[in-house]
Amino acid sequence: MLRFEIAPSQAFTSMARSVTQTKPDRPKNVKRDPVASGERDASVNRGASHKYSLLEKFEAGLLLRGTEVKSIRSGQVQLRDAYGLVKDGEVWLLNAHIGPYEHGNIFNHEPLRTRKLLLHREEIRKLIGKTQQKGLTLIPTRVYFRNGKAKVELALARGKQEWDKRETERRRTADKEAREAIARSRRA
């Protein structure tokens, strides 16, 4: 009978696995949606700056259900008539329309349900004091993703009168004409 002995240093070398290296330059996910990755906003309230003077902005988290997140990622959000409300030390988002998820089932969400906003306690205290002033309100200006979480940009706003809107439009056209004149002078 033949007997083979293996030295301890040789016993573990036969068990070692070969490790293949991947390319480090390759991006993680090339086809990722720009809304989901945070490169593009899911929704922007363009009318807010026309109807209101935006004084101060806050970033708030949204308390959502699963199908709402999927609808936001697909861009089915409207902030046109939405506004924020501070009640009992909590901030709420009202009238924000998040469309139903197209592949949702019976557990799909209501499009116009009231959603809770997540802010720091100091920010809520500040908002309580500011929104009690006459003429100030909370208006959502945009919805976007940051680090995979849905966020809302809230602006503390004061409503504009008609003459304010006309003055803003005049200022905007004057600035545009000045930029065009500068561009023409550089070309010539």
Give me the number of domains the chain comprises.
1
Q: What is the pTM of this model?
A: 0.66
Q: What is the pLDDT of residue 187?
A: 85
- Evaluate whether residue 11 is within a structural domain: no
Q: Would you say residue 16 lies in a domain?
A: no
Under 8 Å between Cβ of 99 and 76: yes
Q: For the chain (length 188 residues), average pLDDT per consecutive 10?
A: 59 51 54 66 79 86 84 84 88 88 77 88 87 84 86 86 81 91 88
Separation of alpha carbons 172 and 49, rounded Å = 12
CA dihedral of 68, 70, 71, 73, whole degrees rounded to 10: 120
C-alpha distance from residue 48 to each of 72, 81, 127, 156, 172 (Å): 20, 9, 18, 11, 16
Query: What CATH number has the domain bearing residue 95?
Result: 2.40.280.10
C-alpha span between 50 and 31 (Å, rounded): 35
Paired tokens of 49: 């700056």
74 lies in a domain? yes
Does residue 2 lie within any of the structural domains?
no
Residue 112 falls within a domain, yes or no?
yes
**Residue 92, pLDDT score:** 92
Q: What's 70's DSSP letter?
A: H
Range of the domain at 165: 31-183
